[in-house]
Structure 1
Amino acid sequence: MKKQLLTHLLTLSAIFLYAQPDTEVYLMDLRRSSDGLVIEKPINISSNVGYDNQPSFWSDSESVLYSRNVEGQTEIARYYIGSGNTLIITNTFGGSEYSPTLMPDGRISSIRLDTTGLQLLYAYTYRGLDEVLVPKLKIGYHAWINSTDIVAFVLGDPATMQIINTKSGDARIVGENIGRSLHKIPGSPSFSYVDKSQDQWVIKSYNPENDSSKDLVNVLEGSEDYCWTPKEEILMASGSKLYVWKNQTSWTEFADLSTHGISSITRISLSPDGKKLAVVSN
């Protein structure tokens, strides 16, 4: 599982621009039974040629944001679960949006990569109006940890994990050699990330209040994307299979999506109410 950080840095923008895989976003019900977690009714919500990826949920759990291929570039799309309708929010000339995420103030934060190579974190309204959030740092991935602060994967030599105040612009480096999956931990001031500094990658938590970190669990072989449930469990995929982890336990398989024609799962996201799961399959 060892990967070279330099290679990741050199290829990140190139992957966005030139080698986007043909991916689809799937949505399904997640419920709890006496036997554990159960997956039901998976559907393809993108059904689109090209790169459709990076799903995240609206706060009311009624819609899904994702990056959608539109005539060769990616735009922010919003899928409404009740109606099945899709709204394309952006129409950016000379640029593509990635990792759309609901902001605490109700706007959408997204990384925009322009054809000039400029890569910045923007805020968008539901009408697509934009504003630069972090003007001086080249951010690859991000997550909101409170109303003003984000934790971000910042490109550079080396790439760093930084906590950034989007109001003041203040930023501090709190780690290096991390993965792309960054998440606020439910019911906690801490966030989680994947530490790639050793051959065995590890999901860790970091508490910005006291600058402390601790190991949670090793990632599954060949995987780096995960999400949290409201019950403070971690969900992760390996191939076509879904697994769950709870504090001080081992990974437990709870579903195999190959029976639904879904394999090679990468991104994974859970609705705030814990009832809808979105995954990406290559």
Structure 2
Amino acid sequence: MKNSPFLLSLLILLSPLLSLSQPDTEVYLMDLRRSSEGLVVEKPVNISSNKGYDNQPSFWSDSESVLYARNVEGQTEIARYYPESGNTLIITNTFGGSEYSPTLMPDGRISSIRLDTTGLQLLYAYTFRGLDEVLVPELKIGYHAWINSNDIVAFVLGDPATLQIINTASMENKIIGQNIGRSLHKIPGSSSFSYLDKSSDEWEIKSMNPISGESTFLVKAIEGSEDYAWTPKEEIIMGSGSKLFAWKKDGEWVEIADLSSHSIKNITRIAVSPDGKKVAVVGD
């Protein structure tokens, strides 16, 4: 049967909304401690406990609160959770747009990617009261990480998507790679950053010096996974299914937790607190 003009028009109108639909996910916070046998993860708590898409956790510099993207009446806003009190503060209330990947900036503001219902996608800076300004006006950034007070490393959408270093003061940008994953991180205790290289069938986590552009292989990613985080002691934590694994230099991936008994599965995004005592994961 041929599609009617009315049906085609309806599909065209609905397609942007369908493309913005997100899975139901939750953010879990748990303790991370060290034992004689290695890292131990325990006491998981669902800190979002909210219907819809709750995702992309990151920690405040004092490790005392967690930022994440929280579903609020069908769009995502920047939320800040305080483990001590169990309170959640909704920082933004954006009309006609959603915030993703909230990240503490070196100057104390919050950087976040905003996707408007018009399709406009830009990196913004937000104050604690939700006031905003565009940080990078010309590039459609998907993911980002701060590597110093002015520079970010970013996954920039395009054909192909590229890895770029962008100076938010001068607006100068430099393409340094492509075929990368979404997980970008400044390496603790270093001026370098890490990224996921997807240029071969076996994905690899690599580090890069932002000044020289020199790239160094660190470890092969766990098959099928692309999200990871660094501990302050320069270990990498990565998830697969309901399990968490840890890696340290010159070692192998070691399982440190199976969260299936807590009904946590399909682990994706991961964040470790700056003091190394907490880990946040996203699961469903």
Structures share a fold, TM > 0.5? yes
Displacement over 6 Å in runs of 4+:
13-16
After superposition, residues 103-252 of structure 1 pair within 5 angstroms as 103-252=105-254
- The answer on whether the counterparts of 1:27 and 1:42 sit within 8 Å (CA) in structure 2 is yes
Q: Distance in 2 between matches of 1:147 and 1:179?
A: 23
Alpha-carbon distance in 2 for matches of 1:233, 1:17: 36
- TM-score (ref. length: structure 2): 0.93
Partner of 2:4: none
Q: Which amino acid aligns with 1:209?
A: I
Which one of 37, 47, 50 corresponds to residue 49 of structure 2? 47
* Aligned equivalents of 2:136, 2:198: Cα separation in 1: 25
In the alignment, is the contact (CA less than 8 A) between 1:189 and 1:209 conserved in 2?
no
- How does 1:31-42 map onto structure 2 within 5 Å? 31-42=33-44
SS in 2 for 1:259: helix
* Superposed displacement of residue 28, structure 1: 0.4
The answer to whether structure 1 residue 262 and structure 2 residue 258 are counterparts is: no
SS in 2 for 1:179: coil
1:16 deviates by 9.0
Pick the aligned partner of 2:71 from 69, 72, 82. Answer: 69
Query: Equivalents in 1 of 2:279, 2:18: separation in Å?
Result: 25
Alpha-carbon distance change, 104 to 14 in structure 1, aligned in 2, over 3 angstroms:
farther
Question: Could you tell me how far apart the structure 1 residues matched to 2:18 and 2:202 are?
Answer: 26
Q: What is the RMSD computed on CA atoms of the aligned residues?
A: 1.3
Residue 37 of structure 1 aligns with an amino acid whose one-letter code is L
Question: What amino acid does structure 1 have at the position aligned with 2:45?
Answer: I
Distance across 2 between alignment mates of 1:16 and 1:234 = 35
Structure number with bigger Rg:
2
Q: For 1:34 and 1:249, how far apart are their aligned partners in 2? A: 16
Query: Aligned residue for 1:271?
Result: 273
Map 1:76-115 → 2, pairs under 5 A? 76-115=78-117
- Supply the distance in 1 between the matched residues of 2:65 and 2:18 (Cα, whole angstroms): 25
Q: 2: distance between equivalents of 1:241 and 1:40?
A: 13
In structure 2, the residue corresponding to 1:265 is in which secondary structure?
Answer: coil
Deviations 1:202-244 (A, max 9, x none): 0010101211001111110111000000100000011111111
Question: Aligned pair 1:57/2:52, yes or no?
Answer: no
User: What secondary structure sits across from 1:78 in the alignment?
Assistant: strand
Note the C-alpha offset of 1:151. Answer: 0.1
Worse-superposed segment, 93-102 or 241-250 = 241-250
Q: TM-score, normalised by structure 1?
A: 0.94
Unaligned runs of 5+ in 2: 1-14
